[in-house]
A = this chain, B = another copy of it.
Amino acid sequence: VTTNARARVRAELTREIKEAARRQIDEAGAPALSLRGVARELGMVSSALYRYFPSRDDLLTALIVDAYDAVGAAGEAADAGVRRREDLAGRWLAVARAARAWALANRAEYALIYGSPVPGYRAPEDTIGPANRLTAVLLAILADGVAAGALPAGRHALPAAVRADLRDLRARTGIDVPEPVLFLGILAWSQLFGAISFELFGHLHSVVEDHEAFFDAAMTTTAERLGLQPARRRR
C-alpha cells in the first residue's frame, strides 16, 4: 500500500510534465518543444526527465496519444449528450462542434495531430488506437442510420478502384455500412477537418468573419449531403 505512494507521486509528476509540455507547444509549437524548457518550468534539472520519458520523441508520442484521446472523448461526450438518438443530423453536428471547440481550445495539440507532421518524428503504433476513437463515434452515427433504414443505401456510383478499397476496409474492420455510404462518410470526415484546419490555420481570414456560424452552416450542409435527415421528418 505504501508502495503506491511512490507510484502515485510518479503518476502525478508524469502528468505535470505533460502539462508543462503542452503549455510549451501552445506557446511555440511542437517543433520547439524542449526537454530543458519543460524541466525549467518544473524547477527540475533536465536530466531528471529521463526518469519519466526515455527521450524527447517519447514525450511527443505521449502528447499525441493524449490529444487523440481528448478529442475522442469530447466527441463521445457530445454524441452521448444528444437524447434523441434517432436525430442523426443532430448527433453529427454535436460531434463536429465538439471537435471544433476542442481544436480552438487546444490549437497546438490540434496541429500536432491534424496539422503537418513534426519533421523527423515517426509516430509509433501506439498512436493508432487513440486516433480511431473519434472516427468510431462518427462511424457509429452512420451505422445507426443504416440500421434504422434512415440512410439511402447508396445509389451513389463509385469507380471500381474506390469500391474495392472500401470493400477491403469493411472486411478488415468489420464496419457495417455499405461502400457508397462509407465513401460519403470519409468525405464528410475530411470535410470536417478541412473546415477546422482552414479556420485554425488562417485561410478563412479576410474571407468570412463569423467563423462559428460558417462552420455550423458547413456542417449542416455536410450532414444533409451524407443523407442524415433531421430528426422528425424521417422517410
Contact = CB atoms under 8 A, between A and B. Distances in A.
Interface of A: 28-32, 111, 114-120, 123, 128, 156, 158-159, 161-162, 165-166, 168-169, 183-184, 186-187, 190-191, 193-195, 197-198, 201-203, 206-210, 213-214, 216-218, 221, 225
B119 A28 contact: yes
Contact of A29 (B28, B116, B123): B116
B194 A161 contact: no
Contacts of A123: 202
B29 A169 contact: no
25 contacts: A28-B119, A28-B120, A29-B119, A29-B120, A31-B119, A32-B119, A114-B201, A123-B202, A128-B206, A158-B217, A159-B216, A161-B210, A162-B208, A165-B214, A184-B221, A186-B208, A186-B214, A190-B194, A190-B198, A191-B191, A193-B197, A193-B198, A193-B203, A194-B198, A197-B197
A201 B221 CA distance: 25
A213 B161 contact: yes
Pick the 4 closest A-B CB pairs, nearest first: A194-B194, A29-B119, A115-B116, A111-B116
Interface on chain A toward B: helix, strand, loop, or mixed SS? helix
A119 B115 CA distance: 12
A107 to B, nearest CB: 9
B207 A162 contact: no
Contacts of A117: 111, 201-202
B116 A217 contact: no
A210 B169 CA distance: 12
